[in-house]
Chains A and B, each alone.
Chain A
Amino acid sequence: MSSSYKNRIQEFKATLSEQKIDLKALRELCFSDVFTVSRVSQGSRVKEAFVRSAGRSVSDLSSSAILLNYLPPDQALWETFLTKQRDVYAQFLREMIIQPGIAKANLGVSREDVTLEDHPLNPNPDSRWNTYFKDNEVLLQIDKDVRRLYPDMAFFQRPTDFPCQLILDPQNEYETLRRRVEQTTLKAQTVNRNRSGVTNVSSPGKALNLYPSNEYEVLPNGCEAHWEVVERILFIYAKLNPGIAYVQGMNEIVGPIYYTFATDPNSQWKEHAEADTFFCFTNLMSENRDNFIKSLDDSQCGITFKMESVFSKLKEKDTELYMRLQEQNIKPQYFTFRWLTLLLSQEIIPSLMFTPSSSKRKNCRTVCSSHAPLGSASSLMIDSSAAHLARVGSSVCLCVIERLVLPSLRIFLIARHLKSLQTADECVDSFRDRETLFDSGKRISPEAARHYGRVTDLRSALPASAQSLSFIC
């Protein structure tokens, strides 16, 4: 087995060291690797080899960027291309965050944004102020969701090393999204007049106590947390794609991409994580966005159709399991909806990317079979055995990955997987971090699992699922 590994790593090395990277070959390599690489229980040797193979500053990160169709295959073009894209993004920020904001309002300079023609009370739908307030509604929704992005890991709550200078520069006093959100929640006060004519203004005291534990405290000026960067990315995306704007769940697609860039060992990538994530996310969404558009739900490209096709794929691949689900009246809508719209980002990606040590990670199958959504479906199957559940997990999941989830996601997954091999050592160094990271096994307490009827520890059932896996592959 180890020799086949060496071969594979050689292949990777060869593919990545080409001046012009053969995209098709790289994709194929990555795809087959989700199965082979993951079979190592102790990945250290492979990891070393991979790090060496990635020596030429061609990190796996750039490979995931290539695979998301962001970087052009020709390496000579990368630098100019990246500079260009990052400038474009900075331009977006200027147009969509800085300009419509209430810039310099408190400097005493006459305000350009409040004129006789346009002002905050202008009822005209074309009014810039009107748009500004509409945007705030979208922003509030994003804000609510993104504050608790991947609540199980501390990463997104931490300050970024590279806050957006363009906006946060104190000299400019631009209005940040943070301030916009604060302003949209107006504080109400009630005026009471008692009999002797004394007026008393009282404000509801509890109003601001949204987060009782103070866990989500706002960082001081000039700093921003990673979730605030993600918020900006989503806001820009919503502005540029008004047809979709923002739908819950998009945050969980951006999350892993951003995490990849923002934790890269190379500070170049780290610094520009925001812009690069934005373009990778946009590319990924261009394949996935139909799932988020309600009016397409029942069309050929909509989510309903996709859910049905997962099921018919399953029927083709594992008739017995399919019949079993039919018998129990378990519809694809019950468990595939989230898998498809979120591109498995609640199921597999966290375990692959956020769990650094390879021994913990074990392999893709364990993750598939021990994770929550399968448990969700499982709580419906009252008399199912663990082995059976594991099988639902691995085979349905793999059906999804293999056939239906977009090719680029598949590749993204694998690239992530390789990434975790590469950085395992660093993660061991920062052991404290590791405690706070995702661990698929820990995610649900055994007690909770019992109550929810979810079966978490299916590892004992692995041989069965492995069997069905090889059957599917």
Chain B
Amino acid sequence: MSETYDFLFKFLVIGNAGTGKSCLLHQFIEKRFKDDSNHTIGVEFGSKIISVVNKFVKLQIWDTAGQERFRSVTRSYYRGAAGALLVYDITSRETYNALTNWLTDARMLASQNIVIILCGNKKDLDADREVTFLEASRFAQENELMFLETSALTGENVEEAFVQCARKILNKIESGELDPERMGSGIQYGDAALRQLRSPRRAQAESVQECGC
């Protein structure tokens, strides 16, 4: 089965243990909540093709382990990531306080230009909230992150998080701020031929979507 897409982006999902990283990924790909999710050891992978601003983008998502012990190993997964979901749990201040560390790691090890969206997960547990929307959105602003509160349980804002992040990367490519040809950009062309023949291929790509893929 061949896949048609214009770009491939490497994405990371990072954040403390138990914030719901794997559940977010599962919700994004399967469109349902994973009830009996197990902890992640090392890394898990997922991928999905989404349509953003008339382009088909394949997201190759690296879902990392959150526990502190795994940090030195998970760092080796960062290289060449184009985008990241930085996840905390709105019902746990501890996971919010750890964000600065995660952020430093991501910027240092992936790339300075990595596009990061901050996700305050478990939005459905509003009664137990320990981190306000306002506080987190200030943090996001100060650190030049996009920000959404998500719920892997209900699916709220999950797709949006991935799509917004991908859209920002595409914008950066179009504005010339990001160069897909540069090594370690985390971006690949879907098909070498696409670069020259972009418009004739479009029709083909659309027919792929019609068949419900």
> For residue B67, which residues in chain A have a CB less than 8 angstroms away from its CB?
247-248
Given contacts A204-B127, A448-B30, contact A338 B42 (CB under 8 A): yes
Cβ of A326 within 8 Å of any chain B Cβ, yes or no, is: no
Q: Is the CB of A451 within 8 A of B36?
A: no
Nearest A residue to B1, CB-CB: A450
In the assembly, what is the distance between CA of A145 and CA of B35, in Å?
14
Interface residues of B in 48-81 (CB under 8 A from A): 48, 60, 65, 67-73, 76-77
Cβ of B38 within 8 Å of any chain A Cβ, yes or no, is: yes
Partner of B42, one of A247, A252, A337: A337
> For residue B127, which residues in chain A have a CB less than 8 angstroms away from its CB?
204-207
Interface residues of A in 378-435 (CB under 8 A from B): 379-380
> For residue A152, which residues in chain B have a CB less than 8 angstroms away from its CB?
36
CB proximity of A96 to chain B, nearest CB, Å: 23
Given contacts A331-B76, A451-B46, contact A248 B39 (CB under 8 A): yes
Q: Is the CB of A452 within 8 A of B47?
A: yes
CB proximity of A215 to chain B, nearest CB, Å: 7
Given contacts A151-B36, A342-B41, contact A206 B128 (CB under 8 A): yes
Q: Is the CB of A148 within 8 A of B76?
A: no
**Chain A interface category by residue count:** 35 or more
Cβ of A334 within 8 Å of any chain B Cβ, yes or no, is: yes
Cβ of A328 within 8 Å of any chain B Cβ, yes or no, is: no
Partner of A148, one of B38, B60, B65, B68: B38
Interface residues of B in 115-147 (CB under 8 A from A): 125-128
Q: Is the CB of A148 within 8 A of B37?
A: yes
Interface residues of A in 193-207 (CB under 8 A from B): 204-207
Nearest B residue to A247, CB-CB: B69
Cβ of B44 within 8 Å of any chain A Cβ, yes or no, is: yes
* 9 smallest beta-carbon distances between A and B, as pairs: A151-B36, A337-B42, A204-B127, A206-B127, A338-B42, A338-B41, A333-B76, A379-B45, A248-B39
Q: Is the CB of A334 within 8 A of B77?
A: yes
Given contacts A206-B125, A338-B42, contact A292 B47 (CB under 8 A): no
Given contacts A338-B41, A451-B30, A451-B47, contact A248 B69 (CB under 8 A): yes
What 16 additional pairs, Cβ within 8 angstroms, besides A249-B41, A334-B77, A452-B29?
Answer: A145-B39, A148-B36, A148-B37, A213-B35, A247-B69, A248-B67, A248-B70, A294-B68, A294-B71, A297-B73, A298-B72, A337-B42, A337-B43, A337-B73, A376-B45, A453-B45
Cβ of B180 within 8 Å of any chain A Cβ, yes or no, is: no
Nearest A residue to B35, CB-CB: A213
Nearest B residue to A151, CB-CB: B36
A interface with B by C-beta (< 8 Å): 144-145, 148, 151-152, 204-207, 212-213, 215, 247-249, 252, 292, 294, 297-298, 303-304, 331, 333-335, 337-338, 341-342, 346, 376, 379-380, 447-448, 451-453
Nearest B residue to A329, CB-CB: B80
What are the interface flags for B133-168 relative to A under an 8 Å C-beta threshold, 1 for contact and 0 otherwise? 000000000000000000001000000000000000
CB proximity of B90 to chain A, nearest CB, Å: 13
Q: Is the CB of A333 within 8 A of B77?
A: yes
> For residue A205, which residues in chain B have a CB less than 8 angstroms away from its CB?
127
CB proximity of A250 to chain B, nearest CB, Å: 10
Nearest B residue to A376, CB-CB: B45
In the assembly, what is the distance between CA of A206 and CA of B38, in Å?
23
> For residue B43, which residues in chain A have a CB less than 8 angstroms away from its CB?
334, 337, 376
Partner of B72, one of A204, A207, A297, A448: A297
> For residue B99, which residues in chain A have a CB less than 8 angstroms away from its CB?
none
Q: Is the CB of B45 within 8 A of A303?
A: no
In the assembly, what is the distance between CA of A294 and CA of B42, in Å?
13
CB proximity of A460 to chain B, nearest CB, Å: 15
> For residue B46, which residues in chain A have a CB less than 8 angstroms away from its CB?
379, 451-453
Partner of B128, one of A144, A204, A304: A204
CB proximity of A200 to chain B, nearest CB, Å: 16
Q: Is the CB of A451 within 8 A of B76?
A: no
Q: Is the CB of A376 within 8 A of B44?
A: yes
Q: Is the CB of A379 within 8 A of B47?
A: yes
> For residue A379, which residues in chain B have a CB less than 8 angstroms away from its CB?
45-47, 60
In the assembly, what is the distance between CA of A298 and CA of B73, in Å?
10
Q: Is the CB of A341 within 8 A of B45?
A: no
Interface centre among B41, B48, B68, B72 (most CB of A within 10 A): B41
In the assembly, what is the distance between CA of A298 and CA of B76, in Å?
13
> For residue B72, which residues in chain A have a CB less than 8 angstroms away from its CB?
294, 297-298, 304
Nearest A residue to B73, CB-CB: A337
> For residue B73, which residues in chain A have a CB less than 8 angstroms away from its CB?
297, 303-304, 333, 337
Cβ of B17 within 8 Å of any chain A Cβ, yes or no, is: yes
Q: Is the CB of B29 within 8 A of A292?
A: no
Interface centre among A304, A335, A337 (most CB of B within 10 A): A337
